[in-house]
Amino acid sequence: MKLLIVNPNISQSVTDLIAAEAQRSASGDTQLTLRTAAFGVAYIETRAEAAIGAYATLNELAEHYAGHDAAIIAAFGDPGLEAAREMLPIPVVGLTESALMSAAMLGGRIGIVAISQRIRAWYSETVDRYGMTSRLASIRCLDEPLPNIGSVQQDKGEQLVALCEAAVREDGADVLIIAGAPLAGLARSVAERIPVPVVDGVSCAVHQAELLARLNPHKASAGSYAVPPEKSWTGLSPALGQLIGRQRIS
């Protein structure tokens, strides 16, 4: 099996974290292709940054999906996920979606622990977009500047564990998601210290992508996830243009 993993952020250090955790999670015979967004921001916290990341991600996916069995959008908040799902003939999952769906089978109410206050609104809207708001216990977030996004696990590990415990004791979380690609792997390393099951986005996404590829679903030819209707376009990369329509204007 071959998985394409796109980091919608421009941070190579975060891509490296994702790659390491993804490799640890993948089946023995799974090969991973990692891509980092060609443009955008260091890490996505807002709707504006997510809109930029979505477009960068669609470009990477269009260019590189061929030959893969499934694809992963590797930023919590899943920028461009539904758009990619429409266009690509292979399954695509996001970190938030796959963590939510996995967590939902491990408990009732789901808590999310994240890296910044500002990121909360975007995450909250992402959960709502999947219709899972009634399952959400809370989103608890660090509230300090992050000097180095690549070392946030080391720098803020204790605070993150404390947020996990508060989500269980005060918010009624039955299961936790440690959110955000920069925290990839943390769930595994702190699991012993948390009184409920805890998952992370990267490992859930790799497992769910493999699962969906094994289910071998047909690409929709009807409904709202069929390929967008053919139409004229301009100014897109050839790969993206070919997916979105077939009739280029001049």
Which of 67, 89, 108, 238 lies at the binding interface for a copy of itself (CB under 8 A)? 108
Task: Please report, as residue ranges, which positions from 174 to 233 form the binding site for a copy of itself (by CB under 8 A).
Answer: 174-175, 191-192, 194-199, 203-204, 207-208, 211-212, 214-215, 217-226, 228-229, 231-233
Task: Give me the helices (H) in 130-193, please.
Answer: 152-169, 186-190
Nearer to a copy of itself, 2 or 233 (CB): 233
Residue 20 interacting with a copy of itself (CB under 8 A): no
The kind and range of the H/E element at 111 are: strand 110-114
Of the two residues 124 and 159, which places its CB atom closer to a copy of itself in the complex? 124
How far apart CA 41 and CA 200 sit, in angstroms, is: 22
6 vs 50, which CB is nearer to a copy of itself? 50
Residue 142-171 contact track with a copy of itself, rule CB under 8 A, x = bound:
--------------------------xx--
Specify the residue, 154 or 222, whose C-beta has the smaller distance to a copy of itself.
Answer: 222
Cα–Cα nearest to 139, from 159, 158, 117, 154: 117
H/E stretch holding 81 = helix 81-87
Give the DSSP per-residue string, 59-124.
Answer: HHHHHH-TT-SEEEE-STT-TTHHHHHHH-SS-EEEHHHHHHHHHHTT-SSEEEEES-TTHHHHHH
Identify which range of 13-21, 32-40, 151-159, 177-185 contacts a copy of itself by CB under 8 A: 32-40
